[in-house]
Amino acid sequence: MPRSQRFLAVALAVLASAGLAYSQAVNATLLGTVTDASGAVVPNAKVTITETQTAVAHAMQTNESGNWIVPNLPPGVYAASVEATGFKKETRRDITLVVDTTTRVDIQMTPGNITETIEVSSAPPILQADTATTSTQISNTVLANVPLVSANRNFQSLLNLAPGVAPVTEQHSQFFNAASSLQTEVNGQARMGNNTMIEGTDDNERTGLLQIYIPRSKPSRPWTFR
Protein backbone atom coordinates (compact mmCIF):
# COMPACT_ATOMS: atom_id res chain seq x y z
CA MET A 1 0.00 0.00 0.00
CA PRO A 2 1.45 3.44 -0.92
CA ARG A 3 2.53 5.64 1.98
CA SER A 4 -0.17 8.24 1.30
CA GLN A 5 -2.89 5.58 1.39
CA ARG A 6 -1.55 4.12 4.65
CA PHE A 7 -1.60 7.60 6.21
CA LEU A 8 -5.19 8.16 5.06
CA ALA A 9 -6.28 4.80 6.48
CA VAL A 10 -4.73 5.62 9.87
CA ALA A 11 -6.34 9.08 9.89
CA LEU A 12 -9.77 7.61 9.13
CA ALA A 13 -9.35 5.03 11.89
CA VAL A 14 -8.48 7.75 14.40
CA LEU A 15 -11.50 9.81 13.37
CA ALA A 16 -13.79 6.79 13.62
CA SER A 17 -12.57 5.94 17.11
CA ALA A 18 -12.95 9.57 18.18
CA GLY A 19 -16.57 9.58 16.96
CA LEU A 20 -17.29 6.38 18.87
CA ALA A 21 -15.80 7.81 22.06
CA TYR A 22 -17.92 10.95 21.67
CA SER A 23 -21.16 8.97 21.34
CA GLN A 24 -20.32 6.84 24.36
CA ALA A 25 -19.53 9.83 26.56
CA VAL A 26 -22.27 12.23 25.49
CA ASN A 27 -25.35 10.19 24.59
CA ALA A 28 -27.60 7.86 26.57
CA THR A 29 -29.03 4.34 26.40
CA LEU A 30 -32.66 3.28 26.84
CA LEU A 31 -33.55 -0.36 27.44
CA GLY A 32 -36.22 -2.57 28.95
CA THR A 33 -38.14 -5.84 29.01
CA VAL A 34 -41.66 -6.46 27.69
CA THR A 35 -43.84 -8.94 29.61
CA ASP A 36 -47.50 -9.95 29.81
CA ALA A 37 -49.77 -9.87 32.88
CA SER A 38 -48.39 -13.21 34.11
CA GLY A 39 -44.79 -12.03 33.89
CA ALA A 40 -43.95 -14.10 30.80
CA VAL A 41 -41.74 -12.31 28.28
CA VAL A 42 -43.19 -11.10 24.98
CA PRO A 43 -40.80 -11.72 22.05
CA ASN A 44 -40.99 -9.98 18.66
CA ALA A 45 -42.97 -7.04 20.06
CA LYS A 46 -42.52 -3.80 18.14
CA VAL A 47 -40.88 -1.08 20.26
CA THR A 48 -40.80 2.54 19.06
CA ILE A 49 -38.77 5.21 20.86
CA THR A 50 -39.68 8.79 19.91
CA GLU A 51 -37.93 12.01 20.92
CA THR A 52 -40.71 14.34 22.06
CA GLN A 53 -39.45 17.64 20.61
CA THR A 54 -38.07 16.46 17.28
CA ALA A 55 -40.40 13.46 16.65
CA VAL A 56 -37.36 11.42 15.58
CA ALA A 57 -38.29 7.75 16.04
CA HIS A 58 -36.24 4.56 16.52
CA ALA A 59 -37.97 1.21 15.97
CA MET A 60 -36.87 -2.31 16.91
CA GLN A 61 -38.26 -5.65 18.08
CA THR A 62 -37.86 -7.44 21.37
CA ASN A 63 -35.64 -10.52 21.26
CA GLU A 64 -36.58 -14.03 22.39
CA SER A 65 -36.11 -12.91 26.01
CA GLY A 66 -38.44 -9.93 25.60
CA ASN A 67 -35.54 -7.48 25.90
CA TRP A 68 -34.89 -4.40 23.80
CA ILE A 69 -32.18 -1.73 23.81
CA VAL A 70 -31.61 1.58 22.00
CA PRO A 71 -28.09 2.99 22.48
CA ASN A 72 -26.60 6.34 21.47
CA LEU A 73 -29.69 8.50 22.10
CA PRO A 74 -29.14 12.25 22.47
CA PRO A 75 -30.23 13.61 25.88
CA GLY A 76 -33.86 14.69 25.89
CA VAL A 77 -37.42 13.63 26.68
CA TYR A 78 -38.72 10.47 25.01
CA ALA A 79 -41.79 8.28 24.68
CA ALA A 80 -41.71 4.47 24.39
CA SER A 81 -44.52 2.58 22.63
CA VAL A 82 -44.92 -1.20 22.43
CA GLU A 83 -47.21 -3.13 20.07
CA ALA A 84 -47.78 -6.89 19.97
CA THR A 85 -50.48 -9.15 18.57
CA GLY A 86 -53.19 -9.91 21.14
CA PHE A 87 -52.28 -6.94 23.37
CA LYS A 88 -53.29 -3.31 23.70
CA LYS A 89 -50.69 -0.78 22.61
CA GLU A 90 -48.72 0.51 25.61
CA THR A 91 -47.07 3.95 25.69
CA ARG A 92 -44.80 5.46 28.34
CA ARG A 93 -44.23 9.20 28.10
CA ASP A 94 -41.98 11.78 29.78
CA ILE A 95 -38.88 9.56 29.86
CA THR A 96 -36.00 11.93 30.53
CA LEU A 97 -32.55 10.87 29.37
CA VAL A 98 -29.44 12.74 30.51
CA VAL A 99 -25.89 12.55 29.24
CA ASP A 100 -24.03 9.22 29.56
CA THR A 101 -26.80 7.32 31.38
CA THR A 102 -28.59 3.99 31.02
CA THR A 103 -32.33 4.11 31.76
CA ARG A 104 -34.56 1.05 32.08
CA VAL A 105 -38.24 1.16 31.11
CA ASP A 106 -39.97 -2.21 31.60
CA ILE A 107 -43.45 -2.48 30.10
CA GLN A 108 -46.21 -4.95 31.01
CA MET A 109 -48.72 -5.60 28.23
CA THR A 110 -52.48 -5.85 28.74
CA PRO A 111 -54.54 -8.34 26.69
CA GLY A 112 -56.83 -6.65 24.20
CA ASN A 113 -57.16 -5.19 20.73
CA ILE A 114 -54.01 -3.63 19.29
CA THR A 115 -56.08 -0.60 18.23
CA GLU A 116 -56.61 0.22 21.94
CA THR A 117 -53.91 2.28 23.64
CA ILE A 118 -52.85 2.58 27.28
CA GLU A 119 -50.75 5.66 28.07
CA VAL A 120 -48.77 6.36 31.22
CA SER A 121 -47.26 9.80 31.86
CA SER A 122 -45.03 11.06 34.67
CA ALA A 123 -44.30 7.57 35.96
CA PRO A 124 -42.36 7.43 39.26
CA PRO A 125 -38.55 7.13 38.98
CA ILE A 126 -37.35 3.56 38.49
CA LEU A 127 -34.46 2.10 40.49
CA GLN A 128 -31.62 1.73 37.99
CA ALA A 129 -30.00 -1.67 38.44
CA ASP A 130 -28.24 -1.72 35.05
CA THR A 131 -25.44 0.67 36.01
CA ALA A 132 -23.70 1.89 39.16
CA THR A 133 -23.08 5.39 37.83
CA THR A 134 -24.92 8.41 39.22
CA SER A 135 -25.54 11.88 37.83
CA THR A 136 -26.82 15.31 38.86
CA GLN A 137 -28.66 17.53 36.39
CA ILE A 138 -28.89 21.27 37.09
CA SER A 139 -31.79 23.06 35.45
CA ASN A 140 -31.92 26.42 33.65
CA THR A 141 -33.86 27.93 36.55
CA VAL A 142 -31.10 27.08 39.02
CA LEU A 143 -28.42 28.44 36.67
CA ALA A 144 -30.28 31.73 36.36
CA ASN A 145 -30.80 32.25 40.10
CA VAL A 146 -28.01 30.58 42.08
CA PRO A 147 -24.88 32.72 42.68
CA LEU A 148 -21.62 31.11 41.62
CA VAL A 149 -18.33 31.15 43.53
CA SER A 150 -16.15 32.73 40.84
CA ALA A 151 -16.56 36.03 39.06
CA ASN A 152 -16.34 34.44 35.61
CA ARG A 153 -19.35 32.13 36.23
CA ASN A 154 -17.12 29.06 36.29
CA PHE A 155 -19.27 25.96 35.66
CA GLN A 156 -17.23 24.09 38.29
CA SER A 157 -18.97 26.17 40.96
CA LEU A 158 -22.11 24.15 40.19
CA LEU A 159 -20.40 21.09 41.69
CA ASN A 160 -21.36 22.54 45.07
CA LEU A 161 -24.93 21.48 44.28
CA ALA A 162 -24.06 17.81 43.71
CA PRO A 163 -24.25 15.34 46.62
CA GLY A 164 -20.98 14.02 48.00
CA VAL A 165 -18.92 16.93 46.66
CA ALA A 166 -16.73 19.03 48.98
CA PRO A 167 -16.95 22.84 48.57
CA VAL A 168 -14.97 23.91 45.51
CA THR A 169 -11.86 26.03 46.00
CA GLU A 170 -9.48 27.93 43.74
CA GLN A 171 -5.94 26.73 44.34
CA HIS A 172 -2.48 27.62 43.00
CA SER A 173 -1.21 31.01 41.89
CA GLN A 174 -2.76 32.99 39.04
CA PHE A 175 0.43 32.32 37.07
CA PHE A 176 -0.05 28.55 37.31
CA ASN A 177 -3.85 28.66 37.23
CA ALA A 178 -4.55 31.35 34.65
CA ALA A 179 -7.93 29.83 33.72
CA SER A 180 -9.12 30.11 37.38
CA SER A 181 -9.89 26.39 37.48
CA LEU A 182 -11.63 25.19 40.66
CA GLN A 183 -10.86 21.98 42.55
CA THR A 184 -12.89 19.69 44.79
CA GLU A 185 -13.02 16.21 46.29
CA VAL A 186 -15.88 13.79 45.52
CA ASN A 187 -16.98 11.20 48.09
CA GLY A 188 -13.66 11.50 49.90
CA GLN A 189 -11.55 10.83 46.83
CA ALA A 190 -8.49 13.05 46.25
CA ARG A 191 -8.93 15.67 43.55
CA MET A 192 -6.25 13.94 41.47
CA GLY A 193 -8.85 11.22 40.88
CA ASN A 194 -11.27 13.64 39.16
CA ASN A 195 -11.67 13.46 35.38
CA THR A 196 -13.22 16.49 33.66
CA MET A 197 -14.71 16.05 30.20
CA ILE A 198 -16.88 18.52 28.28
CA GLU A 199 -19.20 16.82 25.78
CA GLY A 200 -16.83 13.87 25.55
CA THR A 201 -13.61 15.91 25.21
CA ASP A 202 -10.77 15.63 27.74
CA ASP A 203 -10.39 18.96 29.60
CA ASN A 204 -7.53 18.04 31.95
CA GLU A 205 -4.01 19.45 32.05
CA ARG A 206 -1.20 16.92 31.75
CA THR A 207 -0.46 17.39 35.46
CA GLY A 208 -4.02 16.31 36.30
CA LEU A 209 -4.33 19.20 38.74
CA LEU A 210 -6.28 21.75 36.69
CA GLN A 211 -8.59 22.09 33.71
CA ILE A 212 -7.69 23.77 30.42
CA TYR A 213 -10.95 25.28 29.18
CA ILE A 214 -13.43 26.88 31.60
CA PRO A 215 -16.63 27.87 29.75
CA ARG A 216 -18.96 30.32 31.44
CA SER A 217 -22.23 28.88 32.75
CA LYS A 218 -25.20 30.15 30.76
CA PRO A 219 -28.81 29.92 32.02
CA SER A 220 -29.92 28.92 28.52
CA ARG A 221 -28.61 25.36 28.86
CA PRO A 222 -28.73 22.82 31.71
CA TRP A 223 -25.60 21.06 33.01
CA THR A 224 -25.24 17.41 33.90
CA PHE A 225 -22.44 16.11 36.15
CA ARG A 226 -21.43 12.44 36.41
**pLDDT tens profile 140-175:** 777 777 776 565 667 787 888 888 888 888 877 777
- Claim to verify: residue 170 and residue 201 sit in the same structural domain: yes
The sign of the dihedral angle between the CA atoms of 118, 41, 56, 138 is positive
CATH of the domain at 94: 2.60.40.1120
Q: What range defines the domain where residue 178 resides?
A: 134-226
Give CA separation, 216 vs 104, 129, 157, in Å. 33, 35, 10
- Claim to verify: residue 207 and residue 138 sit in the same structural domain: yes
How confident is the model at residue 136, as a pLDDT?
74
Q: Is the pLDDT of residue 58 over 90?
A: yes
Do the beta carbons of residue 172 and residue 210 sit within 8 Å? yes
Is there a domain that residue 22 lies in?
no
How confident is the model at residue 225, as a pLDDT?
59
How confident is the model at residue 44, as a pLDDT?
95
CA–CA gap between residue 217 and residue 143 (Å, rounded): 7
Question: What is the reported pTM?
Answer: 0.60
- Claim to verify: residue 96 and residue 145 sit in the same structural domain: no
Segment 30-44 shows an average pLDDT of 94
Length of the chain counted residue by residue: 226
How confident is the model at residue 166, as a pLDDT?
87
Segment 54-74 shows an average pLDDT of 95
Segment 99-118 shows an average pLDDT of 84
- Claim to verify: residue 219 and residue 188 sit in the same structural domain: yes
- Claim to verify: residue 104 and residue 143 sit in the same structural domain: no
* Confidence bin at 21 (pLDDT 50/70/90): very low
Is there a domain that residue 194 lies in?
yes
Residue that wins the pLDDT comparison between 138 and 106: 106
How confident is the model at residue 115, as a pLDDT?
73
- Claim to verify: residue 180 and residue 155 sit in the same structural domain: yes
Domain's final residue, options 66, 97, 120? 120
* Confidence bin at 84 (pLDDT 50/70/90): very high
